[in-house]
Structure 1
Amino acid sequence: MEGIIVRRVIPSDNSCLFNAVGYVMDHDKNKASELRQVIAATVSSDPVKYSEAFLEKPNDVYCSWILDSEKWGGAIELSILANYYEREIAAYDIQTTRCDLYGQDRNFSERVMLIYDGLHYDALAITPFEVAPEEFDQTIFSVRSDRTLGPIEGIAQDFVNKQHSQRKFTDTANFTLRCGVCQIGVKGQKEAAEHARQTNHTNFQEFK
């Protein structure tokens, strides 16, 4: 394999997961609206699998919720998108350096890679050199018979470990946020979620 691994930054607009997936799958950072529709259609079509117990909200409520561009995606959405594209999605968490693999039970022959900093998803790509244009990026990789990517997997893990050592993550248990609507300060993801539940305010900015 020639080249180096790079983190392709996706805009921070509450749709970073979807646009990061769009980039690694289709080299398109503006797929959020389309991919939210895919997820809603998938969930709506199988209310038994996607039950209230699984989704933590009624099926129809979830479908309306995920279509809202202000709402974030996570594990459920990555699992659905892996099946939709028929490719594994590896999501690397910088804070824990863990890799969560979606679609691994389906024996897909290809994999893409994302990186997560506690709040935000970006795309991982292999590029020929540091400042190469994005059109040279390789984002889809063949899964080998041992279900790994071979050397690429080690390079990706080393990159994530380095990002961790540089503290390129947000500690969501202890970070401080300010509500962009009413300017109230909250600490940690739980307080932010509770404030959002009480006020319907979802626009938070991190501050030190």
Structure 2
Amino acid sequence: MEGIVARRVIPSDNSCLFNAVGYVMDHDKNKAPELRQVIAATVVSDPVKYSEAFLGKPNEEYCSWILDSEKWGGAIELSILADYYGREIATYDIQTTRCDLYGQGKKYSERVMLIYDGLHYDALAMSPFDGAPEEFDQTIFPVLLDRTIGPVEGLALNLVKEQHRKRSFTDTARFTLRCGVCQIGVVGQKEAVEHAQATGHVNFQEYR
């Protein structure tokens, strides 16, 4: 198998998870509105499975929340999208180099891959050579009998480890932010959220 695993950058607009999934599934980086609708429809159709305990908020409230283009997706949304497409979604975390697999155990025959830097999702694709146009990307991989995707998996992990070595991730527990409104420094996502809730300031810049 010739080629490299390439990171395909998805715009940072709070919908990166959905657009990254759209790219690896459909070669379309603008599927966020459609996929948010899919998730809301799935959740509203099964209030027993998607209970307040599962979602962290009431079913109806969650549905209007996920349709807001400013809101981020995460594990719940990835598991729903894996089932919607009938494919496994592997997400590689740069900080821990861990791979989380959604749709696992469903015996899906194909897999796609995303990469996560602590705040942002990009797409992973198999490209014939470095710098090849995106239309040559392969983003859907057959799952083999051993439930891996063969050599592609090793190439993806090497890319993730390389990004980890370069510290191309945001440690959301320890990263330092400065409030763009009052210039106060906060450490980590938790403090940033608390500051935002206390003051209404939501314009943070990372600084080292």
Asked if Structure 1 and Structure 2 have the same fold, meaning a TM-score greater than 0.5 normalized by the shorter chain, the answer is: yes
1:134-153 to 2 correspondence within 5 Å?
A: 134-153=134-153
Identity of aligned residues (%): 80
Aligned residues: 208
RMSD: 1.5
Q: Which residue of 1 aligns with 2:83?
A: 83
| Aligned residue in 1 for 2:73 | 73
CA distance in 1, matches of 2:180, 2:35: 27
TM-fit CA distance, 1:206: 2.0
Q: How does 1:141-180 map to 2 (within 5 A)?
A: 141-179=141-179
Secondary structure, aligned partner of 2:119: coil
In structure 2, what is the equivalent of residue 99 of structure 1? 99
Spell out, residue by residue over 1:114-146, the C-alpha distance to the aligned partner (whole angstroms, 9 max, x if none). Answer: 000001000000101111110000000000011
Structure 2 length-normalised TM: 0.95
1:20-55 Cα distance to aligned partner (Å, 9 max, x none): 001000111111111111111111111100100111
- Which stretch of the first structure deviates more once superposed, 172-181 or 65-74? 172-181
> 1:179 deviation in Å?
4.1
Distance 1:198 1:44 in 2: 32
CA separation in 1, counterparts of 2:160 and 2:44? 35
Q: Which amino acid aligns with 2:124?
A: L
1:184 Cα shift? Answer: 4.5
SS at 1:44 equivalent: helix
Q: What 5-or-longer segments of structure 2 have no aligned partner? A: none
Q: Flag structure 1 segments of 5+ consecutive residues without an equivalent.
A: none
Matched, 1:57 2:43: no
Q: Which moved more, 1:65-74 or 1:196-205?
A: 196-205
Alpha-carbon distance in 2 for matches of 1:44, 1:28: 26
Give TM-score scaled by structure 1 length: 0.95
* 8 Å CA contact 1:124, 1:139 repeated in 2: yes
State which drifts further: 99-108 or 173-182: 173-182
Cα distance in 2 for partners of 1:181, 1:32 equals 30
CA change 1:205–1:66 in 2 (3 A) is: farther
Residues 44-73 of structure 1 show CA distances to partners (whole Å, capped at 9, x for unaligned) of 111100100111111111111111111111
Q: 1:155 deviation in Å? A: 1.1
Deviation at 1:186, TM superposition (A): 2.3
Q: Is the 8 A contact 1:70 1:202 kept in 2?
A: no
**Secondary structure at the residue paired with 2:105?**
helix
Q: Distance in 2 between matches of 1:75 and 1:112?
A: 15
- Give the ranges of 4+ consecutive aligned residues of structure 1 lying more than 6 Å apart after TM superposition: none
Q: Secondary structure at the match of 2:6?
A: strand
When residues 198 and 63 of structure 1 are mapped into structure 2, their CA distance, relative to the original with a 3 A threshold, is farther
